[in-house]
Structure 1
């Protein structure tokens, strides 16, 4: 895991954890890293100093960050209480909004332009702060 200090194009500063530097790059390039204050996906890594500690200063097991626990709990709740629809998320959300199919809780993946269009059209959607598991309920 790696933590980055981030800053959006509106000047909001925040931090977030990623599985690796490559995971951050992949998520940022796909528009999945968003500012929690304004929702902007124009996010860059801010300058930060590395945290260096001596081996004797480190506990044998690091305490779990409460944010990690909250994120894991949110993931569990989303995955237990909604259907994963994969890349058909935008089509399913739009069909429910237009009344063509019954409403139900769903989660999945959408390309940035698809998500933007849903929001512009008033379809109630929100980005997840994690990449959904690729499994169905």
Structure 2
């Protein structure tokens, strides 16, 4: 496994784990790598300091296939729950979330799309928002 420091076009930084450098390249080329904050597909590798052995040994986190599978399954269940129980409001998400927060609209769970700027403004104003986990890629689209 190889870990890359990644960032999207909006400056959100995150990590990605891949079987090899070629796996990263193939997934990036097919648009399968997305920012977990804003879902942007314009993602690039960042400069990383090399791991240098010193006198203190720190073990890298052991991400087993079972652990990865368990996390992916949990994320899928969260997404399915939201899609089944919340109201989809499309690109009016920011406006509707603000209206609910301010008591001008019915208090209910919603999901939809918002620009990174809209999400940032909602968070700054104390409106509780969180990204929806991405839909799982089709098994035929990943290695």
Q: TM-score, normalised by structure 2?
A: 0.55
Q: Give the structure 1 partner of residue 123 of structure 2.
A: 119
Report the alpha carbon displacement of residue 5 of structure 1 after superposing the two structures with TM. Answer: 3.5
Q: Write the deviation string for residues 68-93 of structure 1: whole angstroms up to 9, x where unpaired.
A: 21121111111112111111100100
Q: Give the structure 1 partner of residue 5 of structure 2.
A: 7
- SS of the aligned residue for 2:91 comes to helix
Unmatched segments (≥5 aa) in structure 1: 34-42, 48-61, 132-137
Q: Give the structure 2 partner of residue 23 of structure 1.
A: 31
Q: Give the structure 2 partner of residue 58 of structure 1.
A: none
Unmatched segments (≥5 aa) in structure 2: 8-12, 19-23, 48-64, 136-143
Q: Give the structure 1 partner of residue 72 of structure 2.
A: 68
Q: Write the deviation string for residues 29-64 of structure 1: whole angstroms up to 9, x where unpaired.
A: x9426xxxxxxxxx74369xxxxxxxxxxxxxx988
Judged with a 3 Å threshold, the aligned counterparts in structure 2 of structure 1 residues 4 and 115 are, in CA distance, closer, same or farther, namely: farther
Aligned alpha-carbon RMSD (Å):
3.7
Alignment: residue pair count: 103
Q: TM-score, normalised by structure 1?
A: 0.57
Is the contact made by 1:4 and 1:46 (CA closer than 8 Å) also made in structure 2? no
Is the contact made by 1:4 and 1:45 (CA closer than 8 Å) also made in structure 2? no
